[in-house]
Structure 1
């Protein structure tokens, strides 16, 4: 099974840790490294602003400040430990071909994938990939979506499941990309016994990947062998969520404390 990883340049968990994991059970043929520009990041914020308005965007910005002040240090320590654990188990980052681009839809990505002929592409990126890219691998392009789909689509499903107190749907979805936003066939839902008191949503959405790497490797092998059957999600509600908001985080913390007192 030949694989290719698409990830962001500044995400060592993916670029080093998941690359080592992929190389442990497949032939990792290459890595597409996304080096986003400032303009691209501003466009992402502008899209969110248009979606939620000024007050919503202030709430989003407040959450970013909160994370930086109260969560960042612990999060960074966890990610360092997680990366060390992955490299200890799967070995150092493999030396494979890399393509550095700003956009996942760059024509050079198309040429790179055609040349490498992957069976599976694992897309660990915030960008939506066009059909000309995600349709190249024989078995499909997959994402480990941080949320249970279809109920919690978009990039922060774990946060919103906690905010909604829908704790049974805090997890990760393995799905194959199609033309929609997290609407492709689902090949598995994955969870772990998270601790919302001590773990930030950033850690939860990374740890649910880390805790399920063995099961994910098996699932990818089944997909490649043609024996994997998609999960039936017909009739389930579908929701697209936005960026984390401080007001919803604080409300969830209060609900958690009340439940602890009453529990």
Structure 2
């Protein structure tokens, strides 16, 4: 199988660890590295502001500050150990062609992926992928979505399942992208025995990927060979969730620990 990885320049777990994992069972033809501009990051904040309003946006920004002050150091420590574990098992980052762009839908990115003729693309990015790129890979573009779909769509499904105390839906979804937002065919739901008392939601959403890499590799092979059918999610509740809120985080932690952390 020929594969292409799309990832953010700042995410070592994906750019180094998942690249090595992909190379262990596919021919990695190339990597698309997204290095977003400040304008793109500001635009994302503005979209969230429009979606939730100014008061709730304060809650969102407060959560980011809280994470930076109380969790980011431990999360980076976990990531370093996770990468070491992945490199021991899967080897180093493959030496393959790369393209660096700010926009995943840049015509240069589309041309780069088309020239590589991948069977599938694994997209680990926050940007929505448009139809011109969606149509390029033979089997499709897949995501390892942090959350169980369709109940927890968007990028913070693990956080919201934890905050909602919906622990059965803390996990990851192997999903083939379509034109919607996390609405494509679902090919797998994955979980692990997380420890919400000692693991941050960021670690949980990465670790559920780490603990299920072998199963995901087998499933992707089945999909590419035409041996897999999507999971029937007809009739299930569907929800699109936004950025984490500090107020909901503190409520979740009071439930888990019995007091504000």
- Give TM-score scaled by structure 2 length: 0.98
Structure 2 counterpart SS, 1:40 = helix
SS of match in other structure, 2:71:
helix
Per-residue CA deviation, residues 169-194 of structure 1 (Å, 9 max, x unaligned), is 00000000000000000000000000
Write the deviation string for residues 217-259 of structure 1: whole angstroms up to 9, x where unpaired: 0001101110011000000000000000100001111122359
Runs of 4+ in 1 over 2 A off after TM superposition: none
Q: Which residue of 1 aligns with 2:221?
A: 221
Residue of structure 2 equivalent to 1:16: 16
2:48 maps to 1:66: no
Give the TM-score normalised by structure 1. 0.97
Contact 2:150-2:182 within 8 A present in 1 as well: yes
d(CA) in 1 for partners of 2:114, 2:92: 27
CA–CA separation in structure 1 for the residues paired with 2:136 and 2:123? 13
Determine the C-alpha separation between the residues in 2 that align with 1:68 and 1:30. 33
CA RMSD between the two structures: 0.9
**Structure 2 Cα separation of the partners of residues 55 and 196 of structure 1:** 28
CA contact (8 A) 2:146 2:158 kept: yes
1:141 counterpart = 2:141: yes
Contact 2:171 2:189 (C-alpha < 8 Å) held by counterparts: yes
Paired position in structure 2 for 1:106: 106
Pairwise CA distance, 1:141: 0.2
Alignment correspondent of 2:90: 90
Report the equivalent of 1:55.
55
SS at match of 1:198: coil
User: Any stretches of 5+ residues in structure 2 without a counterpart?
Assistant: none
Secondary structure of 2:89 counterpart: helix
Number of residue equivalences: 259
Stretches of structure 1 that go unaligned for 5 or more consecutive residues are: none
State whether structure 2 residue 187 is matched by structure 1 residue 191.
Answer: no
